[in-house]
Chains A and B, each alone.
Chain A
Amino acid sequence: MWNWLHKLGSPKSFFAISERLLPWFGTLALLFLSVGIVWGLLFAPPDYQQGDTARIMFVHVPASILAQSSYMMMASAGVVFLVWRIKLAEIALQCAAPIGASLTFLALVTGSIWGKPMWGTWWVWDARLTSTLVLFFLFMGIIALRSAMENRASAGRATSLLAVVGLVNLPIIKFSVDWWNTLHQSSSFSLTQKPAMPIEMWFPLLLMVIGFYFFFFSVWMMRIRTEVLIRERRADWVKRLVLTMKNKRDMKHAV
């Protein structure tokens, strides 16, 4: 296992491995997502309280799950980089930040749209929504720091440090937001407790979550591949790749 991880560590071999993995991840993501959406939209029963707005859950819940786990994955890549100095971990971190931020944004907006029909207000200071908002700020911090530092190498170290600091603080923030919510929100309505879902609704949700994970990995891999090429552009294997790709493309004019 150890040398496999080491092989994955070197950008060139990662590029080769991801060449084979990417189509698999892509098709699996497409498959899960399409089945999940069709099932959730068409066949799942409307919720007895919320009626059809419950269908928003099939997007909002996976998005907020992904938001948190993408931060976890990004921060663990940061830890790997700070401890073992594997260059690929730093590239992975910098590529995960924008995806994570976009998913957190998606979770935020879908959460507020879900709130509109149910409570009539666009924004509700619910514990989970607020901690997703804070997570969004954390992502923004990472992206702001990455773009502020021109020199790529030290930007990697700085962003990994910030990600790790954020990771250490995340549980504290989560606790304090939840605790703060119970203080001010006397009424018990909130998105936190998932209503006991019948199996017909729970299963499409599971498909959607798995689909989102596959989607996240495939998009993440795509970004890492581009970043690896940019970083290794002086290496011969990149030169050959670019030239061969160009010849192929000239031949059949397809991207």
Chain B
Amino acid sequence: MQFDSLSDFIQMNGHGVYVWAVYFLALGVLLLNVLRPKMMMKRFYKEQYIAYTLQAAVSNEKLKDGSGDYLK
């Protein structure tokens, strides 16, 4: 372990500010990249579900039996 105490670890003899800024920024960018697709996927499911149920209601029952066999 390079640092003897926690506070020393945070200070990193004066350079801590920069190092932590970099790591938090990196964390932020990585998280953003992970959450963005997840959110898009969720939005897609929500929108499409409404669209399909609407369409299913219009062209009724063609879909209902279809979704059954997918789980096999």
Contact = CB atoms under 8 A, between A and B. Distances in A.
Within 8 Å by CB, do A and B touch in the complex? yes
Contacts of B29: 102-103, 105-106
B60 to A, nearest CB: 14
Pick from A55, A103, A223 the residue with the most CB of B within 10 Å. Answer: A55
B38 A51 contact: no
Interface residues of A, number: 50
A230 B44 contact: yes
The size bracket of the interface on B is 35 or more
A114 to B, nearest CB: 7
A99 B22 CA distance: 18
Contacts of B37: 219, 222-223, 225-226
Pick from B1, B29, B63 the residue with the most CB of A within 10 Å. Answer: B29
Given A109-B25, A236-B66, A44 B18 contact: no
A85 interface: no
A106 B44 CA distance: 28
Interface of B: 1-3, 9, 12-16, 18-19, 21-23, 25-26, 29-30, 32-34, 36-38, 40-42, 44-45, 48-49, 51-52, 63, 66-67, 70-71
Interface of A: 33, 37, 41-46, 51-53, 55-56, 59-60, 63, 98-99, 102-103, 105-106, 109-110, 113-114, 116-117, 215, 219, 222-223, 225-226, 229-230, 233, 236-247, 255
